[in-house]
Structures are given as C-alpha cells and as structure tokens.
Chains A and B, each alone.
Chain A
Amino acid sequence: MNTAAPVPAPASLADSALPAGGIFAALRWSLVRDLKVAMRSRSELGVQLLFYIIVVSLFPLASNPERTLLAAIGPGVLWVAALLASLLSLPRLFAGDYGDGTLEQIALSPHPLEALVSGKILAHWLTAGLPVTLLAPLLGIQYAMDGESLAVLAAALLIGTPILSLLGGIGAALTLGLRGGGSLLALLILPLYVPVLIFGAGAVEAVRAGLGATANLSLLGAGLLVAMVGAPFAAAAAVRIALD
C-alpha cells in the first residue's frame, strides 16, 4: 500500500529536561499559533473592535453633547469601554482550545505551561488590547479632547490594556466550561480591573488638571510588571484546575 511506516524509535525526552529553546520557544509557539488562528477568523476581531466604537459613541447620545461635558467624561468612557472590550474578547483565550481538546495537549506539553499561557495572553493583547489603544485617540476627538490628553490616553492604554489581558487570562481560565461564563467572568474580573481604570483614566484627568501624568503612568507600569510576573502562574494553575 505505501512504504513501510517509519518505525519511530521510542526515544523519550530526558526525563525532566526543558525542551530546546526553553520558555521563549514555548511563548513563541503559542503566540504564533494563536495569532494564526485569530487571523483565520478576522471578522470576529473586527466585530469586537466595532463593539468598542459603538459603546463609545453611545454616551454622547445619552447626555447633552455639549463640548465641555464630553471632554470631562471622555477619558472615563474610553477607559470603561476598553475594559468591556477586553472582557468581551477574553473567552477566545482558552475556550476554543478547551472545547476542541488542544488545551489538554498544551497542558501536557513538556514546555512550561506558564510560558505557553503567556504567549496566548500576548496574542490576545495584540488582537484586542492594541487595536483599542490605537483607536481610542481617534474616538477621543469625538469627545472634544485636546491633543495632549489624547497622547496621554494612548500611553495609559498602551500600558494598561496588557494588564487587562493578564488579569483577564486568570478569570478566563477559572471560568472555563462553566455555566453563565460571560457574566461570571465579568463579576470575577471587573473588581480586579478597578485600579487599572483609576490610574488609567486618572492619568488623563491629571494632565487636564495640569498635574502631569507621570505618577499615574509609572504606577500603571509597576502594575504591568507585577502582572506580567504573577498572572501567568495563576492562569496556568487555573488551567490545570479546569482540566482536572
């Protein structure tokens, strides 16, 4: 029928050695794979970005679009909408893999699960957080925000949205396969988003009040570093718990 099957010499890896390339190979694997999968369903990304635009455009309709009022609520609206957009796209992080059985293979890989999860979270940020960060200043113009606050808004979002993906990753893993996953995820994660919201929106407020946003941005930066170190471990633990 076909040539004799190549008889695989059953060599197993040295018992607990990390495979070649260590954590960066693992991070790159899940990053590239998740981006490829995301690109194959690009329309879904577009819809989630549209969600952000629509939510932001709703608020002026709900209040009188008088410029000074809009400028005052602008940062808050753009930030809360960024939180909701991140929340909306979190199920994509693990639920697909959980459903089709690939999450088991990822958890059973000799590569460290923490690095594989970090790659997935980075892919989520690139497809959800980054587009929102690039879009927010454009929408800020709708809110009569001046150039300087738009710049600070973009900077705060650039530092803040990765934290949203990192914390969100923990919540997404905890609620894998549960009933009412979406709203449960919101209840679990939004309280943890509060500090990011406060310092993120606060940065723009501080600039408008002339205080300068360095304090807020540096606190956000510190938050990002802590989240980058801690969140992958919590998310990996949550994945293992979900697979039990």
Chain B
Amino acid sequence: MQIIWQPKIALIFFLLIFFIIYFFYLSGEKKYKKDTFQTMAYFSGKTPSQNIKLQNIYWGFFEDFKKLYMFLAKIQKENSNDYIFLFILGSIIFLLALSL
C-alpha cells in the first residue's frame, strides 16, 4: 500500500497523547514560592550578569572548521571588483563543466 504522508493523523495522535500526558501532568505539584531566593538561577561562583553572550554559541562546531572559515572570509570581501571576478570565474567554470 503506497505510503502517503498524512499529517492529519499524526497531528490527531500527537494531540491525543498530549492531552493524556497533560492529564497526568496536572496531578503534579503546581505551587512554588514566587519571587523568593528559590527562583533565582543557580550560580555556584560569582554571579555573572544575567545574560551571557550567545553570539559565538557554536564554538565547539567552529573549532574543527577553523581553516575553512578563514579561507571563506578571505575570498569574500565586499566590493564590486571581487563580485565581478567571482561571477566571471563561476561562468567560466560553468562553461567548462558544460562542455565536458
């Protein structure tokens, strides 16, 4: 029988499971002491500023591709000479590939 992706069935079952679990979830404890020391985020050492910089968030991922990023940053400077040079280079590559 041909597999056709039916999103409606998936959504219905997702919601059914969600409600059953929500029903179980409600039996848990809801109250907590608001605005006390309990809700402060846990810091073991000196408390840094509330927001840490998320900019270079994929530090681990970059480490392995450091050389590639250096190369990419080098060839792509923002001026029209480089743009036109890259465009002509690309169309020459395209022509060579096409004429194989």
Are chains A and B native binding partners rather than an unrelated pairing? no
Question: Which residues does B use to contact A, with CB under 8 Å?
Answer: none
